[in-house]
Amino acid sequence: MAINLTKSSNNPVLSAERFLNAEPAANGDVMTLEGTLGRSMFLLLVVFGAALWPWTAFFQNYVPNAETQSIPNMNLFLWGGLIAGLVLSLIISFAPKTAPWLAVPYAFCEGIFLGAISATFEMMYPGIALQAIAATFGVAMVMLGLYAARIIQPTQRFRAVLFGATAAIGLFYLVAMVLSFIGVGQGFLQPLLWGSGIIGIGFSVVVCVVAALNLITDFGIIEDGVRARAPKYMSWYGAFALLVTLVWLYIEVLRLLAKLRGRD
């Protein structure tokens, strides 16, 4: 049986406590489901608009079938967007009231980062970016449909299992990043992270499933925030949190498609 009140989410920036502990809304100025979805769509438009900057630089200098490619400022786009987006996400996570002002800059930075990483993959596998976008939104719509139809609901057991899986993936990526900096464990990590064999593809499929299921808990938290009459600024916070999950899902889908294309 589904539990209507979702007390926590696997999304590191989205939890019921953020909404239920927010200051009560004054004068009926409350969070709404329509407002949150509208802000989510707006942030996605900002992401797409920002992604055009590195993407345009990519196509202006792209030479089909060339052995090497040189894209101006690609590392600046990639690392600048990643680091700036991380800093802004931390600020918003710890101070939700900043969401109305920082959610848009965050979306812009994520767009720069995603445009750069998409262009990097596009150099290796032409057409992969469009495939990843379509797959990400397709999965998101399926998850929304399953949640709206109450086919999948974030029960206590569902959340507990998903939290453990999400935490394990996050810990693995953290360890992999540290080991890569010191040049250790590449023989073990490479097949999982980038290998196009059964193990590598299987790992990516599992991560994509976990990322997709996180959307279910996110939808539940936002709906609970609306019921709790959270203040209006939490609509921006909910939209920001959904974007965090969608960015993660897109990156994992992109990696999975790259592995599948690598088998050709």
Domain boundaries of the chain, sorted by first residue: 16-21+30-262
Residue 58 clears pLDDT 90, i.e. is over it: no
Cα-based angle 137, 221, 250 (whole degrees, multiple of 5):
25
The reported pLDDT for the residue numbered 6 is: 42
Burial of 97 (0-12, 13-18, 19+ CB in 10 A): middle
Q: What is the mean pLDDT of residues 61-75?
A: 66
Over range 37-50, report the average pLDDT.
Answer: 96
* Angstrom distance (rounded) from CA 223 to CA 242: 12
Label residue 63 by pLDDT band (50, 70, 90).
low
Q: Which amino acid, 169?
A: I
User: What CA–CA distance (Å, rounded) separates 249 from 83?
Assistant: 19
Residue in the structure block whose two tokens are 């999982």: 192
Contact residues for 49 (Cβ-Cβ < 8 A; gap 6+): 108, 111
Distances (CA, A) of 101 to 60, 61, 90: 33, 35, 14
The more confidently predicted of residues 180 and 221 is: 221
In this prediction the pTM is 0.86
Highest mean pLDDT among 78-82, 105-109, 161-165, 179-183: 105-109
Q: What is the mean pLDDT of residues 112-139?
A: 93
77 close to 114: Cβ distance less than 8 angstroms: no
Residue 12 has pLDDT above 60, yes or no: no
Cα distance between residue 202 and residue 239, in whole Å? 30
- How high does pLDDT run on average in the chain? 84
Question: At residue 25, does pLDDT exceed 80?
Answer: no
Q: Judge whether residue 7 has pLDDT over 50.
A: no
Nearest to 35 by CA among 215, 246, 230: 230
Q: What is the pLDDT of residues 81-113, one digit of tens each?
A: 999 999 999 999 889 899 999 999 999 999 999
pLDDT recorded at residue 92: 94
Mean pLDDT across the stretch 3-27? Answer: 52
45 or 9, which is more confident? 45
| pLDDT of 146 | 93
Residue indicated by tokens 């089909």? 64
Q: How confident is the model at residue 65 (pLDDT cuts 50, 70, 90)?
A: low
